[in-house]
A and B are shown apart, each in its own frame.
Chain A
Amino acid sequence: MNLSLVDPFVLAQDYPESTTGSLRSGHATCVRFNRKGDLLAAGRVDGTVVIFDVETNGVARKLKDHTRQVQSLSWSRDGRYLLTSCQDWKCNIWDLQDGSILRTVRFEAPVYIAELHPWNHLKFVVSLFEDQPLLVDVSEPEAVRLNLPSAPKRTKYDEDEASRNRQNAQDAKQTTTVAIFTASGDHVLSGTNKGWLNIIEVATRTTIYSTKICTGVVIYLRLTSSGRDVVVNAQDRIIRTIQLPNLSAADLDPDTIDIEVEHKFQDVVNRLSWNHVAFSSTGEYVTASTYNNHDIYIWERNHGSLVKILEGPKEEHGVVEWHPHRPLIAACGLETGRIHVWSIVPQQRWSALAPDFAEVEENVEYIEREDEFDIHPQEEIHKRRLDLEDEDIDVLTIEPVKGEMVEEENAFRMPVQLDLNDSESEEEFIAVGRGEMRRKSPMEGRDYMLDSEVMGSTDEFSKKPKARSRKR
């Protein structure tokens, strides 16, 4: 409800400008905002999942069960459930009401990415390492796993038997590297290691459409919040945005689907690879973190131009995420495991502090009102004021604010845990160098804080060995 008071120029700014701080709890490798945007889930190297409160920048909850690095996170629509996939070959669905595990599913292979069904928190799709992707239904405690195809759908077969056989042999080698649900949840979009994009109908589990969009591996797919567009990160160093056809149309003929790449974003000069991509809240912008480079790129989709290169802490970033309705980007630093945040720093307007003053662009000649210096008796002024208060007002009806998510009745709210700190002194991993970890001693205080306020404990540790070596 603060929007009516905030400077319109600040509101018009729809992508972040500068770094505004960082969050830390252990070494985070992936992050994801919930749909409301008040919580940020972070998966850590040691398998712990930390839920940050975006309003306070503090830890709201810790979820412990995984034993290896967390691979991906996916929130349910109402924000109550969180699906985590991990390098320990497991996926967990957590209930944030009490932080318990609702379901655990163990797979036969490491999990690349697991993504929840947009409307049903007991269904998800996983893409597995060198295995077929699975559609998992955990409505019952015993998980039902259904195979999804990886092979693209061939529209016309070659006449020649030899080349057909070759093609079949090739298709058999295809594996899915990423699979996500479309907005309705009726279809799955998947990308393969040979650069194919498949649309799979969930009900029949058949591929209804396939297209080869790039030459290398499809690394990541992400939908806009409306579900109409998808961004593809691929090994060939090009980020593509694609407008999806309406797959839920009643008269959908799979043969008429035509997917065309809308924009290709790439760095032609430096030939940069992209670690991770994300859409902005409205889908107008695309952001990406760069491989072997510190910057975060932002392109806009109207003209397909680069609008901003965010500089920040001098480290390479992995997963990058855009806040669901604010110009705020969070990205995981690969070396330190900190979550860096870019946002807008608004200026204090001085007229807000002194109501008698107004900010003007240039000098204005003041014209005195006719009765400005008339002297009236105090009571009369008071009475006149009271008489003016004849407006009809309503203090109860809640007006919907434009652009803000309408809160559903009985929307889920994660309970606030006030005794979190009391259980804070446990073993944590901290990074000593790139790829190197060490266990944190229990004597160090809290392991998360705002960067601007205090030097993090990591810094102290990384400095100590250096100091020692200098002495020698």
Chain B
Amino acid sequence: MRTLEGHLAGISTIAWSPDSNTIASGSDDKAIRLWHRATGKPYPVPLLGHHNYVYSLAFSPKGNMLVSGSYDEAVFLWDLRARKQMRSLPAHSDPVGGVDFIRDGTLVCSCSTDGLIRVWDTATGQCLRTIVHEDNAPVTTVRFSPNGRYILAFTLDSCIRLWDYVSGTCKKTYQGHVNTKYSIGGAFGVGGTEGFIASGSEDGEILFWDVRSKEVLQRARGHDGVVVWVDTCPGRSGTLVSGGLDGTVRIWVNVEDEDVDKVKTEQENGVAAFDRDDGDVDMHEVKVENGASDDDTPGDEMSIDGRRTPEREAEQPVNGGLNLDEMEE
């Protein structure tokens, strides 16, 4: 296990590059740093430009660009090779909660506590669509669906909405979890052939919804306290990882019909993220405590070929004295 040191203040977000060789981290010191995965060394020059805390990051599918959302209410697009800001989008009138790239890299979406979700053209930097719900609830996280047709938005009214961004209509609302205070995140996952949505909850549970029927498929308990972030493994294994305010990162594997949490690990800062390729470097430190499924070695679970599936991600629950996950301003 390796500790990446360099930021001067708490880290709010990390993201994996598509080739898994680079990790980007966004911090309260207003900088975004890039790290070699293999060596754990940072690239010498951080990405500077934001005027306030960097709160959300996403790599483009090719790995040549990075999008960042910040408390300075702007969304920046970065050219990663030159480590230069390509574009600054005057995105919102409140801190930007989440950003995401679509699977072909042509669109970027951003969301904010002002209740808006905006869709941007990567090439021209123009806003192509704004989505707003009548209730205007603060939006804390956005995710494009794996096929890029929909946007999943997490709002502080304990709802997760699936938007058709072309027509601007809400197609599904997923409910059952508690989310009123923290910037909780989740992800699309694939179990077998069906898609599911997984999200954390402030009551310490992880919830799984069926995408079509909106039914809660399962509630998984394991964390003490708020589950801040859940991310799924690319591919069809249904494996996921969660980070909670109790300072633990838990890895969940799909065991036949019963999902049981098997793995428990304690990491100092509780950052949960899925590696895209092959988790050998970061994930082999995680101990599997359950011997039931003997062939399910962690190495196998992490080896992923789903190069096209939008994965990546991470979020950090607690750091130092600053608790940025509270989106209340």
Contacts and interface: CB of A to CB of B under 8 A. Distances in A.
Interface of A: 1-2, 4-6, 38, 53, 55-60, 346, 348-349, 352-356, 385-386, 389, 391-399, 413, 415-422, 446
B195 A395 contact: yes
Interface string B121-152: 11110111111100000000000011111100
A389 B150 CA distance: 14
From A53, A352, A395, A399, name the one whose CB has the most chain B CB atoms within 10 angstroms: A395
Given A53-B81, A416-B81, A421-B81, A395 B129 contact: no
Contacts of B147: 394-399
B106 interface: yes
Nearest to A2: B106
B17 interface: yes
A393 B151 CA distance: 12
Given A53-B64, A355-B132, A396-B190, A389 B119 contact: no
A5 B121 contact: yes
B149 A399 contact: yes
A355 B150 contact: no
Contacts of B171: 389, 391, 393
A397 B193 CA distance: 11
Contacts of B128: 2, 5-6, 352
A404 B128 CA distance: 19
A2 B81 contact: no
Contacts of B127: 348, 352-353
A395 B81 contact: no
Contacts of B148: 1, 398
Interface string B89-123: 00000000000001111110000000000110111
B319 to A, nearest CB: 26
Interface stretch (B162-170, B247-255, B271-279): B162-170
Contacts of A38: 62
B66 to A, nearest CB: 10
B131 A5 contact: no
B106 A1 contact: yes
A416 B64 contact: yes
Contacts of B106: 1-2
B43 to A, nearest CB: 6
Contacts of B103: 1, 398
Contacts of A2: 102, 106-107, 121-123, 128
A470 B255 CA distance: 82
Contact of A56 (B43, B44, B86, B119): B86
B221 interface: no
A399 B165 CA distance: 15
B234 to A, nearest CB: 13
Contact of A417 (B81, B84, B86, B107): B81
B222 interface: no
A355 B131 contact: yes
A419 B105 CA distance: 22
Contacts of A59: 81-82
Contacts of B102: 1-2
Given A389-B170, A416-B81, 17 more contacts: A2-B123, A5-B129, A55-B123, A59-B82, A352-B130, A353-B127, A353-B130, A355-B129, A356-B132, A385-B170, A386-B173, A389-B214, A395-B145, A395-B146, A396-B146, A413-B62, A418-B43
B149 A395 contact: yes
Nearest to A397: B147
Interface in B70-97: 79-84, 86
B176 interface: no
B65 interface: yes
A176 to B, nearest CB: 39
Contact size class for B? 35 or more
Given A386-B173, A418-B43, A395 B64 contact: no
Contact of B124 (A346, A355, A386, A389): A346
A328 to B, nearest CB: 10
A398 to B, nearest CB: 5
Nearest to B17: A416
B212 interface: yes
B237 interface: no
Contacts of A386: 173, 214
Nearest to A10: B124
Contacts of B105: 55
Contacts of B123: 2, 55
Contacts of B214: 386, 389
Contacts of A60: 64, 81
A56 B82 contact: yes
23 contacts: A2-B106, A5-B165, A6-B121, A55-B62, A55-B65, A56-B65, A56-B86, A58-B82, A353-B130, A385-B170, A385-B173, A386-B173, A391-B171, A395-B150, A395-B162, A395-B195, A396-B195, A398-B103, A416-B17, A416-B19, A418-B43, A420-B82, A421-B83
Nearest to A414: B62
A346 B64 CA distance: 24
A1 B107 contact: yes
Given A2-B106, A396-B147, A355 B130 contact: yes
B129 A352 contact: yes
Contacts of A417: 81
A6 B165 CA distance: 12
Interface in B43-76: 43-44, 60, 62-65
Contact of B211 (A355, A395, A419, A422): A395
From B19, B126, B173, name the one whose CB has the most chain A CB atoms within 10 angstroms: B126
User: Which 5 A-B pairs rank lowest in CB-CB distance, beginning with the nearest?
Assistant: A395-B145, A5-B128, A56-B79, A2-B106, A416-B63
Contacts of A416: 17, 19, 62-64, 80-81
A356 B133 CA distance: 11
A58 B149 CA distance: 29
B172 interface: yes
Nearest to A378: B135
Interface string B285-321: 0000000000000000000000010000000000000
B172 A389 contact: yes
A5 B124 CA distance: 13
A397 B212 CA distance: 13
Contacts of A352: 126-130
Nearest to A398: B147
Interface string B1-37: 0000000000000000101001000000000001000
B84 A58 contact: yes
B154 interface: no
Given A352-B126, A353-B127, A393-B172, A58 B79 contact: yes
B188 interface: yes
Contacts of B211: 393, 395
Contacts of B60: 55
Contact of A55 (B122, B166, B168, B173): B122
A418 B34 contact: yes
B81 A354 contact: no
A14 to B, nearest CB: 16
B150 A393 contact: yes
